[in-house]
């Protein structure tokens, strides 16, 4: 029996690009503590990771805070927006 080989080019269109990024944008009205606490509670970051993301967003204007399926990220996005954070899925 001969096994069929597959290559990355053999993936269906649905599989390609199914992983997305959740981006946190800097704002001028939320404290670092609020952003850090939100990332810990919503995204499951540890304190150090959450602090690093907050600092990166502050100085660079944005930071990718999570990667995954659109379903997972949509729930995180809604929760973070409910905490008045500016986030986008790309």
Query: How many other C-beta atoms are found inside a 10 Å radius of the C-beta of residue 45?
Result: 19
Tell me if 86 sits within 8 A of 35, measured CB to CB: no
Look at residue 5 and tell me if it is in a domain.
Answer: no
Look at residue 2 and tell me if it is in a domain.
Answer: no
Look at residue 34 and tell me if it is in a domain.
Answer: yes
Q: What is the pTM of this model?
A: 0.80
Query: Which alpha helices (DSSP H) does the chain contain, by range?
Result: 32-43, 47-60, 70-82
pLDDT tens readout for residues 48-84: 999 999 999 999 999 999 999 999 999 999 999 999 9
Beta bridge partners of 22: 66, 89
Look at residue 50 and tell me if it is in a domain.
Answer: yes
Residue 18 has pLDDT above 90, yes or no: no
CA angle 81, 19, 23 (to 5 degrees): 30
CATH number at residue 26: 3.30.1390.10
């Amino acid at each position: 029996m001969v096994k069929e080989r597959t290559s990355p080019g053999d993936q269906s269109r649905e599989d390609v690009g199914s992983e997305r990024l959740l981006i946190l944008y800097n704002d001028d009205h939320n404290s670092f503590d609020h952003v850090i606490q939100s990332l810990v509670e919503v995204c499951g970051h540890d304190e150090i990771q959450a602090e690093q993301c907050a600092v990166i967003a502050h100085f660079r204007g944005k930071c990718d805070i999570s990667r995954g399926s659109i379903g997972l990220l949509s729930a995180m996005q809604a929760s973070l927006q409910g905490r008045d954070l500016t986030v986008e899925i790309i």
